[in-house]
Structure 1
Amino acid sequence: REVIVMAEADKVGRRIPNQELPWSSIHTLITDERLEPSAREQITARGVTLICTPVEA
């Protein structure tokens, strides 16, 4: 079983009551390119595959 999470960059790292999933349970994160470089490094260092997509107006 693979867990894929899709979230806007500004939601990454924020805690939402009753909706938190530990990074150890996530295989892939899909987010937008606004994700800070330091957050990208922390996420990939945990073994999570990171996919960042362009933001279009």
Structure 2
Amino acid sequence: MDRSDIRAIQDALNHLPLQCRYHGVKTEPPSPLHEACCDTGLPARRRQQAQEALDRQRT
């Protein structure tokens, strides 16, 4: 993955919310049957997971 790929992914991630409107940064799922704290927190949770994966790729 080159720098332009990373930049494109980062730009896309920046369009997702940083936190849930209702739960803030606490987007962890309440149980294994859920993906995030709630439907509103789902984009923030996915952004967090994608950012972590991107950070791992950079190292």
| TM-score, scaled relative to structure 2 | 0.25
Report which of the two has the higher share of helix: 2
Report which of the two has the higher share of strand: 1
Compare relative contact order (CA 8 Å, sep 6+) and give the higher one, 1 or 2.
1
| TM-score, scaled relative to structure 1 | 0.25
